[in-house]
Amino acid sequence: MKKIKKSTSYTLLFVILTAFIASSCIDDHLGRGNNIGAMKKVLKKFYNVESIEIVKDTIIITTLDLPDHTSPFYEESNPLFEEYTGDNPDFSTEITLPTGVTIDPDLMATEFVFKLPLRPKEVESDNQPTNLGPIGVALNGVVFFNQFNGRRELLDQREFNNTDQWNGHPSPRLSYHYHIEPIWLTQNMGSDALLGVLLDGFPVYGPVEDGVTLTSDDLDEFHGHFGKTADFRKGIYHYHFTEDAPWLNGDGYKGTPGILIE
C-alpha cells in the first residue's frame, strides 16, 4: 500500500513538474512576441506622417512619402530643393526607365497606408518575398524599397547615379524611397538607432549594434536576427541596414506581412 501511495505522489510530482516546464516554455514563447508596450512607444518616434492609429491588432500608418530633408528631386521652387551635394561625379536627376525613356522627375506626394500587425509573428517556412514598391516605412514617413530595381535585378550603378545626398531617389511613379541606409536618419538619430518598420511589423535598425558595424554575414537570409534592442528589452526579430548588398532585406519577410494600400 505504502509503495503504491509513493508512486502516486511521484506521478503527481511528475505531472506538476511537466506542467510547470510546459508553462515556462509558453512564457518564453510569449516573451518573443509580447512587445506591445514597446511597440506603442516606438510608434511615437514616427514623424512627418499623416496619421498613426491602432485598431484592434493592427497598426495603421498613413504617409504622403515626402522627405523632411532636402533633395535635388524636389521642384526648384520647393524650400527643400537643394542641388546634389554628394560625392558621385556621375549623379544625375535624369532617370532612364526600363523602357529606355529618360525622365527628370520632381517628387510628388503619394499616399501610402501601411496596415501592420501589432504583434508581429515570425514565420518558420514559406516566407513571403517582398514586392517591388514599398516594403516598409521609415520614421520620417519615407518608404523603404527592397534590393531590386524595376527589372527585378540587384540595384547597380545606374540606380546609384540617381541616388541623392541622403541615399534616396524617386520611383518612375515619383514616390521617393530608400533602398540603402537613410543617412539623414542615421546622422540625426545614430547609426544604431531604430529607423522604421517593415510591412511584417518587425523593426529596422541602422548598421551598428553594440558598437559593432554589422554586415550581411552577421544576419540571416531575411537580413535580420532575433535579439534585444534599446526599444525592445525582451528581444524581437529585427532587420538591419548594412553597407553591403542586399542592404535592408534579403529573401523576403521574416514575419507575416500586413497590407499596403496605395
The residues binding Zn ion (CB under 5 A) are: 209, 227
Using CA atoms, how far apart are residues 217 and 246, in angstroms rounded to an integer?
Answer: 11
Residue 181 or 209 with smaller CB distance to Zn ion: 209
* Residue 15 CB, nearest approach to Zn ion (Å): 40
Tell me whether residue 31 or residue 227 sits nearer to Zn ion (CB atom).
227
- In the bound state, the residue with its beta carbon closest to Zn ion is 209
How near is the Cβ of 145 to Zn ion at its closest, in Å? Answer: 5
> Least CB distance from residue 18 to Zn ion, whole Å?
35
Q: What is the distance between the alpha carbons of residues 226 and 220, in angstroms, rounded to a whole number?
A: 10
CB of 245 vs Zn ion, minimal distance in Å: 14
User: Which lies closer to Zn ion via its Cβ, residue 127 or residue 163?
Assistant: 163
| Range 77-116 burial, b when 16+ CB lie within 10 A, else e | eeeeebebeeeeeebebebeeeeeeeeebbbeebebebbb
Query: Distance between CA atoms of 232 and 103, rounded to whole angstroms?
Result: 43
CB of 141 to Zn ion, least distance (A): 17
What's the distance, Cα to Cα, between the start and end of the chain in Å? 74
Contact 240, 223 (CB under 8 A): yes
Which strands sit side by side in the sheet containing 259-261, from one edge to the other?
51-55, 58-63, 112-117, 259-261
Cβ closest to Zn ion, residue 52 vs residue 231: 231
Residue 136, φ and ψ in degrees, nearest 5 = 180, 180
